[in-house]
Amino acid sequence: MPATMIGPDLDALHPMPGHERVTFIRNLDLPENVEVGAYSYYDDPAGPQAFLDAILYHFPFIGDRLVIGKFCALAAGKRFLMNGGNHRLDGLSTYPFSIFGGDWIGRFEGELNFPNRGDTRIGNDVWLGYRSTVMPGVSIGDGAVVAAHAVVAADVPPYAIVAGNPAKVVRRRFSDEVAARLQAVAWWDWPIERITADLPLISGGDIAALEMAAREG
């Protein structure tokens, strides 16, 4: 395999020369509670800071994480709403009196028990469309597609296409059986030289051929 078959510079902030709207996300100064895999990119004319600005209500003391896999494509205007934006629903009012301190804190047991749905996880090879929104604690499976303007409030199966508010599965890209085979191959974990050499298979439609390439290593 030629040594030059390595693809774009993984360490480049802007991997497409002349297109500073496209950013390899992992090369940003990410907070400790955000993890992004190799080659996942964000495309926004507002520039790379827009990615960080669109992670909302993500306070370190809450402890939730945003985890994005490898080879994901994130369109402009996407938003992640994290657990810091949740309000209590078990009282008569949803107003978060206690966060303002003073005489409004220390008044009753459980006043700071805001809902926490856990980490938000985006799999590998996921496409988040223009102005899509991902709600707290959602998991989006490998190979899934989120349509433009969709609001994802529930987990998305691998290789599903979801749209709407709240987002619903409109169709599956592949059958459950083929989706499981693709996840078993996990081409996104291969060395980049191997991915580059096998791009015709990865971008093609023959799962058996890709499996054969995986076995041959």
Q: Which residues are known to be catalytic?
A: 87
CB 65 within 8 A of CB 98: no
- CB within 8 Å of 96: residues ≥ 6 apart: 87, 88, 114
Rounded Cα distance, 149 and 163, in Å: 8
CB 163 within 8 A of CB 143: no
Strand pairing class (160-163; 168-172): antiparallel
Burial environment of residue 74 by CB neighbours within 10 A (0 to 12, 13 to 18, 19 or more): buried
Rounded Cα distance, 106 and 101, in Å: 8
Taking residue 89's Cβ as centre, other Cβ atoms within 10 Å add up to: 8
Block residue for tokens 């003073």: 102
